[in-house]
């Protein structure tokens, strides 16, 4: 995130030197972008010298110089094809509310906040697999690196379905380090999102928490038909049912496929009396397995699916 430091009271605290060091470390490792007000630059330099020495000081001085250079180039014209330098969401370090930032972090909590990863709250773990698959397909190295074990700067917390999301928002993780991803559960492409999805969206809006609603019904609706067809042929006695479903799905208009509840759709391709029929629960597990293969790089999302995930990846990058 882009961290604003423009309140002189923050630098008047007894622990100001420690806070400056923590800020510049977070800037130096790429976790945050620091924007320091001109009037505070010299005070920041003095606190940096006070709290460090040797090679460590030099590294942080370099981080400070980079932060100032990036801040000063913020308003320059972005070259064609380049990404904006500061696409980040903004947070202020200040004792009280800040007018120009989404969140204000009190200085006494700043050091802990600087080291908090972004927690991606989802309905199920499989939604995290969709994020990985989308990031791979769109070459979003920032998101992939943040989700890697080496950095763990973006963590997925997905379990319990939609009903468990509000309780999870009330736990101890700082609100300004939360991001919510939910299914739309819409019945038609142009129709509204479900009542439950709308309730969560409004809750997040009221709390200032970023919330992204999938354009398609749910994660499984992003699966490419080629992967569904190929896997259907490998499911033994259930293959007839699944192949029939894959063919029926292919005959649908694209906008209908994007909102079809696929688990029940595939389950209904075979009469319930059939001994080897897969029910909706078994079909759901199968479809989620295909999403895991996408995140592992064994298959790829198609162009339209990637297009529908672009906004999600853009928003995630802003809040990292």
Residue pLDDT, tens place only, 156-195: 988 777 777 887 787 767 888 999 999 999 999 999 999 9
pTM here is 0.89
Span 59-103, pLDDT tens digits: 999 999 999 988 776 544 444 454 444 467 888 998 887 776 778
Residue after which a domain boundary falls, among 65, 92, 114: 114
Query: Within this chain, do residues 37 and 105 fall inside the same structural domain, yes or no?
Result: yes
Residue 245: give the domain boundaries. 117-320
Query: Within this chain, do residues 234 and 88 fall inside the same structural domain, yes or no?
Result: no
Residue after which a domain boundary falls, among 114, 130, 156: 114
**CB contact at 8 A, 146 and 178:** no
Residue after which a domain boundary falls, among 65, 84, 114: 114
Query: Within this chain, do residues 49 and 99 fall inside the same structural domain, yes or no?
Result: yes
Query: Within this chain, do residues 220 and 161 fall inside the same structural domain, yes or no?
Result: yes
Query: Within this chain, do residues 62 and 141 fall inside the same structural domain, yes or no?
Result: no
* Mean pLDDT over each residue of the chain, to the nearest integer: 89
Query: Within this chain, do residues 50 and 24 fall inside the same structural domain, yes or no?
Result: yes
More confident site: 85 or 301: 301
Per-residue pLDDT, averaged over 38-54, amounts to: 94
Query: Within this chain, do residues 105 and 142 fall inside the same structural domain, yes or no?
Result: no
Is a pLDDT exceeding 90 seen at residue 294? no
Computed from CA positions of residues 10, 15, 21, 22, in that sequence, does the dihedral angle turn out positive or negative? negative
181: helix, coil or strand?
A: strand
For the chain, what is the domain count?
2
Per-residue pLDDT, averaged over 47-53, amounts to: 93
Q: How far apart are CA 316 and CA 142, in angstroms?
A: 10
């Amino acid at each position: 995130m882009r961290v604003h430091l423009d309140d002189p009271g923050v630098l008047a605290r007894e622990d100001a030197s420690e806070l400056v060091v923590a800020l510049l470390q977070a800037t130096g490792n790429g976790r945050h972008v620091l924007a320091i007000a001109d009037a505070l630059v010299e005070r920041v330099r003095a606190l940096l010298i006070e709290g460090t020495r040797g090679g460590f000081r030099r590294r942080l001085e370099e981080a400070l110089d980079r932060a100032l250079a990036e801040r000063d180039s913020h308003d320059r014209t972005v070259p064609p094809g380049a990404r904006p330098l500061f696409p980040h969401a903004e947070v202020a370090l200040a004792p009280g509310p800040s007018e120009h930032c989404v969140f204000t972090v009190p200085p006494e909590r700043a050091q802990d906040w600087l080291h908090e990863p972004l927690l991606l709250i989802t309905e199920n773990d499989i939604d995290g697999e969709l994020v990985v698959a989308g990031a791979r397909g769109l070459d979003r190295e920032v998101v992939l690196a943040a989700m890697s074990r080496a950095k763990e700067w973006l963590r997925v917390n997905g379990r319990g379905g939609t009903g468990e999301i509000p309780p999870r928002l009330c736990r101890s993780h700082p609100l300004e380090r939360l991001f919510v991803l939910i299914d739309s559960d819409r019945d038609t492409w142009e129709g509204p999102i479900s009542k439950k999805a709308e309730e969560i969206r409004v809750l997040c809006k009221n709390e200032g928490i970023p919330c992204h609603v999938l354009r398609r019904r749910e994660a499984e609706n992003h699966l490419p038909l080629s992967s569904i067809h190929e896997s259907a042929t490998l499911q033994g006695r259930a293959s007839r049912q699944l192949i029939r479903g894959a063919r029926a799905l292919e005959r649908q208009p694209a906008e209908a496929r994007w909102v079809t509840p696929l688990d029940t759709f595939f389950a209904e391709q075979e009469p319930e009396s059939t001994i080897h029929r897969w029910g909706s629960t078994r079909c759901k597990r199968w479809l989620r397995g295909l999403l895991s293969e996408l995140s592992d790089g064994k298959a790829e999302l198609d162009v339209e699916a990637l297009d529908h995930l672009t906004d999600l990846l853009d928003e995630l990058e802003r809040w990292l």
